[in-house]
Structure formats: structure tokens, C-alpha cells
Structure 1
Amino acid sequence: MRQTWVLWGNVIIAGTFALFFGVLAIMLLARRRARRGHPAPLRTALADVGIVVGTAPWIWMILTPATGQEGVSLVPFKDLAWIASAPWETVFVQVGGNLLVFAALGALLPVRTARMASAARVAAVAAGASALVEVLQYALRLGRFSSVDDVLINTLGAAAAALVTRRWWASHISVGPNSR
């Protein structure tokens, strides 16, 4: 855990400060959308800003150059099997972190739009975004290991987060003139 703070403390601090600016952005965006007659200005502003503020720090961490082993693993569950035999701290950071990478996206995308009000659609978007990040890690030679297992865990985290917010999905909420 201490090593995590040493490596990523700056991201954690920046992410914490981003929360203040996120709240400000939500208020301004909701006000602007309300003036333009948007049917759900606060909900969509919260979802839009929440996706960015909740995902950007993770992407920053993932795309930060490191001095680790580079490579690619395309065999599903191979890296997970290795991680399972690692110390619990490594398991916690690797699996827990990968579950959270696209959790904000997964939780808020179906809240944002009825078109994405499906765990399968959220999973597809998260899988695509995760695969892109893994390709970037490899292509940019960041000193990181690109793994299909990371894509699987990132996707699982997004889909699980989507199911947690199912009650608030856009398809379940009336967006008529009285719902502003």
C-alpha cells in the first residue's frame, strides 16, 4: 500500500482536487443545458462530468511510463493465475484497481442515455476502451505489460458498476416536461 502511495500519490491528490472542479462543472453545465431546454440537465451533467472525473485519473495512471516489464499477454486468465499466487497486497491493487478503471463510465453511462441502458452495451464500450488503453500501453512503449486479463477485469468492473446504478438508468426515468 505504501508503494502505491509513493507511485500514485500525485494522481490521488490531483483527483481529489478535481472533485471540486467537477462539482463546479456540473453546476455550470446543468445551468447551460437548462437554459437550452434540455430535458434532464442536472442528471446528464452529473453523468458527463462524473464519467470524466471518475475515469481520467485511472487512465493517467495506466498511461504513465513505468520501468517494469514490457510485453503482451493474449491468453485469457494467464496473468490472473499468476496474480492469484502473489501477496494479497498485489492482488488487491491489481484486481481492485482494474475493477475500478471504468467503473465510473459503467455506472454513469446508462444514467446518461437510454441508448446505453444495458449491461451488455456498457460492457462493450468498456471492453473497447480498455482494449484501446492496452494497445496504447504497448504501442507507446510505456514500460508496461498489456494483458487481455486487464481488459476482462476492466469490463467486469464497468458492467458491475452499471448494475449497481440500474435503478437510475435513463430508460427507467421519465424525461418529459414535468421531470426537469
Structure 2
Amino acid sequence: MNRTARVTTALVAILGMAGVLFLIRGPLLMTAPACLSGRWHGCYDTFNGPLLMMLLGLPLPALLVWALARFRRAAGGLAWRLSAAEVGMVYGTVPMVWLTLQPGPGAGIVPGRVSLVPLIDLMTMGPIGIGGNLLVFAALGFFAPMRFAALASVPRILALGAACSVVVETAQYVFQLDRVSSVDDVLVNATGAALAALASRRWWRTRTRQPAHKVQECVY
């Protein structure tokens, strides 16, 4: 990819993120007073509050990436990539999982519900629901193959996203969070992880091979 293509891709990503933030600015600003005053109720027990705090807290993971990269300077050019992948996986996934585990109004009272027929719930999700489900494990799918060579494969990321989603859906059912544990959530979550992995494909980590003279030394 040449420089022009990289710049164009970066600009499209920035404009896309700016567009998303513009569309959700209203709900995010509604939770700002509660979040900025440190109140749990009205901030962290909502959907918008964790997203707002995630955006406001971006300087912290950036600082952590810098510190990790400085710590592993011996890794050379991989230091920044590995550090960004490690921090990105955690910072981009934990808040999204927190959102999926938000209890409904009947939590602890309404028994767990399961939907195992594919594509039934997909029709009722709507664009926002589908988009949100695609993003749940998007950070994991984007950064995991950059950090682990063993995961540098779309089928493996698809399987990882599906496995993580199954864990979340099982938790929703077991803890009676008044949420529907749906197979469609698993399918969309896994698809989001795979699509994000494709977006980071040029930065995937590959298995390092020993130089030929090292192999010969081992033989002798």
C-alpha cells in the first residue's frame, strides 16, 4: 500500500469515526453530568455512560502504549505494534462486554431466555443493534492477530469471536440479566471480529523463522 492509499484510508477512518460520534453526540452528552461527577447510577449502569468514559479516557491507553513500547525497545520496530495491540485488545473489548452484560429491568426476576433459531432475531435488531453487535469484539478481532501469530487467520478469529460471544450469552442466561441469549448475537459478534481482522491484515504478526545458519548449528 503506497503512501497516498494509507493517507486516504486514515482519513476515511477518521471521518467515519467523526460521523458516528456526531450521530450519538446527544445520548453521550445526556450522561455527561452523571459521569463527570463520578456517580455510578446514571453513568456506568447505562449504555451511553461507558462509551463516553471510554472516549474521554483515550489518553490513558495512549500513554500505556508509549510506556510499554519504551519498555520493550529491544523488540525494535515491533515494539509499538505489539504494545498497541495488547492495549487495544483490552481497552476496546472490556467496555463493550460491559455493555452486553448490562441488566434489564427484570434482572434476577425474569428467567433466562434463549433464542436458538438463526436469523430470527436479526430481523428485529435494526441498524443500531446490528452495528453494536458488530463492534462488541471488533477490537479483539482487529488487534489479536497483530499480537499473536497463532491467531493470524480469519477462520481462527471467527472462531475466537464466536467462542467469546458464547461465553457472554451464557453469562446473560446464567445470571438472569433479563436479556435474550441469541444465536444471532453470536453470529453477528463473530462476523464483526472477522471483518475487523481483515481491516488489520497488513499488520498481522507472522511466525518468526530461525535463520539457516542457526538451524544448521542445532543439527550439529
TM-score, normalised via structure 2 length: 0.69
The number of residue pairs the alignment matches comes to 166
Between the aligned partners of 1:97 and 1:111, the Cα distance in structure 2 is: 23
Aligned to 2:14: none
Find the partner of 1:75 among 99, 117, 126. 117
CA RMSD of aligned residues (A): 2.4
Equivalent residue runs for 1:84-95 within 5 Å: 91-95=126-130
What stretches of structure 2 of length at least 5 have no aligned partner? Answer: 1-23, 31-45, 212-220
**Offset, 1:56:** 1.3
Identity of aligned residues (%): 42
Between the aligned partners of 2:25 and 2:180, the Cα distance in structure 1 is: 22
Between the aligned partners of 2:48 and 2:205, the Cα distance in structure 1 is: 35
SS of match in other structure, 1:72: strand
Find the partner of 2:186 among 151, 155, 167. 151
- Alignment pair present for 1:20 and 2:59: yes
Aligned to 1:86: none
**Offset, 1:4:** 6.0
Equivalent residue runs for 1:82-121 within 5 Å: 83=124, 91-121=126-156
Q: Which amino acid aligns with 2:148?
A: T
User: Deviation per CA, 1:19-46, whole angstroms, max 9, x where unpaired?
Assistant: 1111011111122222xx3462211110
Aligned to 1:54: 92
Between the aligned partners of 2:27 and 2:185, the Cα distance in structure 1 is: 18
SS of match in other structure, 1:170: coil
Aligned to 2:200: 165
- Whose helix proportion is higher, 1 or 2? 1
Find the partner of 1:136 among 171, 174, 187. 171
Aligned pair in 2 of structure 1 residues 173, 106: CA closer, same or farther (>3 Å)?
A: farther
Q: Which amino acid aligns with 1:62?
A: T
Between the aligned partners of 1:51 and 1:116, the Cα distance in structure 2 is: 13
SS of match in other structure, 1:94: helix
What stretches of structure 1 of length at least 5 have no aligned partner? Answer: 84-89
Between the aligned partners of 1:32 and 1:24, the Cα distance in structure 2 is: 12
Q: Which amino acid aligns with 2:119?
A: F
Between the aligned partners of 2:196 and 2:52, the Cα distance in structure 1 is: 24
TM-score, normalised via structure 1 length: 0.83
Q: Which has the higher contact order (CA 8 A, sep 6+)?
A: 1
Native 8 Å contact 1:18 1:53 kept in 2: no
Aligned pair in 2 of structure 1 residues 3, 141: CA closer, same or farther (>3 Å)?
A: farther
